[in-house]
Amino acid sequence: MKRRAEHPPVAEHWRCDVGAASVAVINIPASLDRRRTFDVDVTLVVRTPLEHRAPWHELTVELDGKRQWQRRVSSHSPGQTDGLDYHCHVQLETGRALRIRAVAAVGGSSVHQLLIEAREDL
């Protein structure tokens, strides 16, 4: 009986860029073969108005429906951009899927880009 050659796994890379929308979601399906670890990065970039008394922006990150992180800050750099970033490592046991959801909120500022990236560490 001939045995199939085993190939090393290829690192997964998931990306969701929703532009100026306020909600981004990535659903990473389960792997039945192996345990995986992901570096997750969420980036919110906002445009700050030239004239507004107190603009702000907020980013909420959920993993599998549970709030992992939330931050609201004042928007700076009038007429330019400002932002928030979040980074974490997530270990997925064999058979476990992952849902990453990012929600942006603004007051006076406007969402320019909302992006989620999940890169597997091999």
105 neighbors 57 (Cβ within 8 angstroms): yes
Kindly list the distances between the CA atom of residue 18 and the CA atoms of 4, 44, 57, 112, in Å, as whole numbers in the listed order: 41, 10, 17, 9
Higher pLDDT among residues 34 and 2, named by residue: 34
pTM: 0.90
Looking at residue 108, the DSSP 8-state letter turns out to be: B
Going across the sheet that includes 13-17, the strands are: 13-17, 110-121, 36-47, 81-92
Mean pLDDT throughout 91-108?
Answer: 97
Higher pLDDT among residues 9 and 12, named by residue: 12
The whole-number pLDDT of residue 5 equals 56
Instruction: Give the percent of the chain with pLDDT over 70.
Output: 95
CATH number assigned to the domain with residue range 16-121, chosen from the 4 options 1.20.120, 2.60.40, 1.10.3470, 2.60.120: 2.60.120
